[in-house]
Amino acid sequence: MTALEHLARTNVLFLNWRDPAHPQAGGAEAYCFEIARRLAASDARVTLFAARFPGAPAGEWVDGVRVLRRGGTFGVYLTAALHLLRNRHTYDAVVDFQNGIPFFSPVFTPRWTAGVCVIHHIHQKQFDLFFRWPMNTIGRLLEKQISRLVYRGHAIVVVSPSTREGVRTELRFRSNPVYLVPNGSPRPYPGSVPRAATPTIALVTRMTPQKRVDLLLRALPALRERWPDLRVHLAGEGSELPNLRALCSALGLDSTVTFHGHVSEERKHALLGGAWLTVVPSVAEGWGLTVIEANSMGTPALAFDVPGLRDAVRDGHNGWLVPDGVPLSDALATALTELADAGARDRAARRCRAWSARFSWDDSAERLAQVVLEESRRVHLHRRSRRRASDLTVLTRFRAPDSDHVERVLRTLLRETDRWSRRGDTFQLLLHGCDELRAFRALRRLGVPEAAFRLAHRREELVNPEEGKPDPDGTDAPATTGPGARERREPA
């Protein structure tokens, strides 16, 4: 039985700054809703509480999720607190999405309500891009010191290893168990999109200061000298769009750059699928969903080597990472030179699609459901969370003659957030939040006399490898499930 199935008939509240219908919705909203609607599809009673925007109804049902919109850009925090106070006995679990400023839901919920805080990326260095003193200082205080106090001991979900590092080092959350639940990948595009015959760059993103799209524009004059037929497509809305249009004209790029504004999903696929390359010059990301969206269309990405993007982009595989100090124009010239060969573009497209296919919203929803289920059981049993001080993950493999007995033991003794698979009489486990010594002790408790184990690398924590296929970097990573999940098995 999966963790999603265990949450059937459970009342779950999602708190997010915006919902997917918001004009400024982005990857964080996609993450929230893709998981919320999968919980709803498993018969959980899911409510998404978000800010109201002009023209939006105060409430509606979308894909089985009840969407409530209250307050405005900042008023949503007060209205969310009032909603929690008025419904203290309604919700079994609250999933609180921290978009710079958290909702502080533990203050307004009873102790028997399971609470999970989802953090996409750290905003400490970005508050200055949006606010002046004293609001920028208040924002940093709320995200760090106040947040650390309010969420002390609560489960934290992050979308990438980079964000996990930021939670520990920048926010200094020391007492929280931190779980990794990555983004999923778009559904495979049913049609085919012809690749452009001439060098083409496409970027679909929100046009905001932290995305630094201006860096791409400033790099184009040098590139156009070498590739006069270069074309660049920019799609998306945002506060920076007027400035970017003005910069484009000032640089004499009107014949090279096309601004598309907001585009449909079909048009986004056409732009990304026809491009040779997408460029992500962001100062930082939680993950880099735009990278995986482009990869799903066979298009590699070039990005700066910054948090989040260094997890989504595997240098030389599904794109390129630009080291600190290297001019963006030089990195773009190198990438376009390599992609000038049609065979190289085809090989890159195959690698990109394979990497994108390793991610699944179904898997992401199951992994977040495991965290919610684990927290629900913890608060009801009043037990302390195991291994909360460690962010290490141990990968182990062993053979068991009495495989059926071992499987029953795994289902009973493993935590929901540990992941395992069985192939015949061979088992593979990912034990989260422990080092090799604790893994050895856990295996002894499971009755496993001998097992090979090692620390898992970041990619093995992120991806959901296919049964029987090696990890794209050549290592043989396990197919993963949880003790409450539907296991993948092959006949003995």
Model confidence at 84: pLDDT above 90: yes
Query: Does the CA dihedral 160-165-170-174 come out positive or negative?
Result: positive
**Mean pLDDT on 78-96:** 96
| pLDDT at residue 383, rounded to an integer | 53
Model confidence at 467: pLDDT above 80: no
**Mean pLDDT on 392-404:** 86
**Mean pLDDT on 392-402:** 86
Beta bridge partners of 212: none
Model confidence at 488: pLDDT above 80: no
> Pick from 259, 251, 249: which is nearest to 329 by CA?
251
| Average pLDDT of the residues of the chain | 89
**CA separation (Å) from 105 to 48, 101, 210, 279?**
14, 12, 27, 37
φ and ψ of 23, to 5 deg: -60, -25
Which is more confidently placed, 427 or 294? 294
3-180 and 200-348 agree in CATH topology: yes
The CATH class of 200-348 is alpha beta
| pLDDT at residue 69, rounded to an integer | 97
> Pick from 13, 27, 38, 140: which is nearest to 361 by CA?
38
CB 178 within 8 A of CB 164: yes
| pLDDT at residue 382, rounded to an integer | 62
**Mean pLDDT on 129-141:** 86
Domain boundaries, the chain: 3-180, 200-348, 388-492
Give residue 241's pLDDT band: very low, low, confident or very high (50, 70, 90): very high
Model confidence at 470: pLDDT above 70: no
| pLDDT at residue 407, rounded to an integer | 86
For 344-373, the DSSP string reads HHHHHHHHHHHHHHT--HHHHHHHHHHHHH
**Mean pLDDT on 475-486:** 37
| pLDDT at residue 472, rounded to an integer | 44
Which is more confidently placed, 261 or 486? 261
Q: To the nearest 10°, report the CA torsion of 178, 179, 183, 187.
A: -170
For residues 414 and 435, give the distance between their C-alpha atoms in angstroms, rounded to a whole number.
16
For residues 309 and 286, give the distance between their C-alpha atoms in angstroms, rounded to a whole number.
8
**Mean pLDDT on 390-400:** 86
- For residue 426, give the 3-state DSSP assignment: strand
Cis peptide before 199 (omega within 30 of 0): no
Model confidence at 453: pLDDT above 80: yes
CB 284 within 8 A of CB 121: yes
Q: To the nearest 10°, report the CA torsion of 349, 354, 355, 361.
A: 120
**Mean pLDDT on 239-253:** 97
Give residue 475's pLDDT band: very low, low, confident or very high (50, 70, 90): very low
**Mean pLDDT on 119-130:** 86
Angle, to 10 degrees, between the axis of helix 328-339 and the axis of helix 342-357?
110
Give residue 464's pLDDT band: very low, low, confident or very high (50, 70, 90): low
Kindly report, residue by residue over 2-15, the tens digit of the pLDDT: 999 999 999 999 99
Query: Does the CA dihedral 470-472-475-477 come out positive or negative?
Result: negative
Q: Which two tokens stand for residue 218?
A: 């400033």
Model confidence at 449: pLDDT above 80: no
Range scoring the smallest mean pLDDT among 50-59, 185-194, 241-250 = 185-194
For the chain, the first-to-last Cα distance in angstroms comes to 21
Kindly report, residue by residue over 146-190, the tens digit of the pLDDT: 999 999 989 999 999 999 999 999 999 988 999 999 999 988 888
For residues 92 and 112, give the distance between their C-alpha atoms in angstroms, rounded to a whole number.
8
Query: Does the CA dihedral 103-34-31-473 come out positive or negative?
Result: positive
Model confidence at 26: pLDDT above 60: yes
Q: To the nearest 10°, report the CA torsion of 477, 480, 483, 489.
A: -100
Q: Determine the residue type at 311.
A: D
Q: Determine the residue type at 98.
A: Q
| pLDDT at residue 385, rounded to an integer | 45
Model confidence at 192: pLDDT above 60: yes
For residues 255 and 240, give the distance between their C-alpha atoms in angstroms, rounded to a whole number.
20
- Percent of the chain surpassing pLDDT 70: 92
Give the global pTM: 0.87
**Mean pLDDT on 16-31:** 92
Give residue 441's pLDDT band: very low, low, confident or very high (50, 70, 90): confident
How is domain 3-180 classified at the CATH fold level? Rossmann fold (3.40.50)
Range scoring the smallest mean pLDDT among 331-345, 349-363, 403-417 = 403-417
Give residue 478's pLDDT band: very low, low, confident or very high (50, 70, 90): very low
φ and ψ of 43, to 5 deg: 75, 15
CB 236 within 8 A of CB 205: yes
Q: How far is CA 98 from the centre of its chain?
A: 13
**How deeply is 410 buried, as exposed, middle or buried, from its count of CB atoms within 10 A (0-12, 13-18, 19+)?**
buried
Range scoring the smallest mean pLDDT among 279-288, 355-364, 454-463, 468-477 = 468-477
Those residues whose C-beta lies under 8 Å from the C-beta of residue 218, and which sit 6 or more positions away, are: 247, 251, 328
Bridge-based pairing of strands 65-69 and 59-62 is: antiparallel
Model confidence at 466: pLDDT above 60: no
**Mean pLDDT on 137-145:** 92
| pLDDT at residue 178, rounded to an integer | 94
**CA separation (Å) from 94 to 26, 90, 145, 180, 445?**
21, 10, 21, 18, 33
For 182-196, the DSSP string reads ----PPPPSS--PPP
| pLDDT at residue 490, rounded to an integer | 34
Angle at 137 between CA 309 and CA 134, to 5 degrees: 135
